[in-house]
């Protein structure tokens, strides 16, 4: 016996489920995208003036970045990069050694590391040195910056977990849609 009135709802239900499931699947990765590590501070601090060019430039993150794929360029006002060798990553800090003899002046630090969630993150900051690193490179004490100074570098990592909220909204909508669907089914069957 062919009874289209009964067959239609039974084929529509899986369709409704798959559409809502797809919506949820599209929105939930948004939660993971919020997990990039943010910079908590740099040494020297962004925009700061230090007595001498330090022996290394440090970036402190929320979590220890991955060791691979890190790059930190420390260029003086003439464009010379004073980075010496590879970035050293340990205990939430990416540290870039500098060659000795870097001159006084303004420096631009352009960095790129791979966040602990495997996404590349990058940023830039500047500092000014009153004197060359020449003789006292090793003595230059690192100074940590407040988190606020470095915050603009990673605007996407901050604040409310919208992906999770969106996921919860989808779940509520899914339940509401199923309830409505079930009621219609019951009415139709009665």
For residues 115 and 33, the answer to whether their CB atoms sit within 8 Å is: no
For residues 66 and 118, the answer to whether their CB atoms sit within 8 Å is: yes
Query: Please, what is the minimum distance in Å from the beta carbon of residue 32 to Cu ion?
Result: 7
Tokens of 106: 């303004």
Nearer CB in complex with Cu ion: 115/145: 115
Query: Please, what is the minimum distance in Å from the beta carbon of residue 31 to Cu ion?
Result: 11
**Distance separating alpha carbons of residues 9 and 28, to the nearest angstrom:** 28
Q: Residue with the closest Cβ to Cu ion?
A: 119
**Residue 113 burial (C-beta neighbours within 10 Å; 0-12, 13-18, 19+):** buried
Nearer CB in complex with Cu ion: 52/115: 115
Task: Tell me which residues touch Cu ion (CB under 5 A).
Answer: 35-36, 117, 119
Query: Please, what is the minimum distance in Å from the beta carbon of residue 116 to Cu ion?
Result: 9
**Distance separating alpha carbons of residues 154 and 19, to the nearest angstrom:** 34
Nearer CB in complex with Cu ion: 27/102: 27
Nearer CB in complex with Cu ion: 40/117: 117
């Amino acid at each position: 016996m062919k009874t289209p009135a009964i067959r239609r709802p039974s084929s529509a239900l899986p369709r409704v489920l798959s559409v809502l499931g797809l919506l949820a699947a599209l929105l939930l990765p948004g939660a993971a995208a919020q997990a990039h590590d943010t910079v908590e501070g740099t040494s020297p601090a962004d925009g700061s003036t230090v007595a001498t060019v330090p022996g290394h430039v440090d970036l402190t993150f929320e979590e220890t970045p991955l060791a691979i794929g890190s790059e930190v360029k420390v260029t003086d006002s003439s464009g010379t990069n004073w980075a010496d060798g590879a970035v050293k990553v340990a205990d939430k800090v990416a540290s870039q050694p500098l060659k000795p003899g870097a001159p006084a002046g303004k420096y631009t630090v352009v960095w790129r590391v791979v966040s602990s969630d495997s996404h590349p993150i990058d940023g830039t900051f500047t500092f000014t040195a009153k004197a060359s690193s020449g003789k006292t490179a090793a003595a230059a004490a690192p100074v940590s910056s407040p988190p606020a100074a470095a915050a603009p570098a990673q605007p996407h990592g901050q604040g409310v977990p919208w992906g999770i909220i969106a996921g919860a909204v989808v779940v509520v909508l899914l339940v509401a849609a199923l309830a409505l669907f079930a009621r219609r089914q019951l009415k139709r069957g009665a």
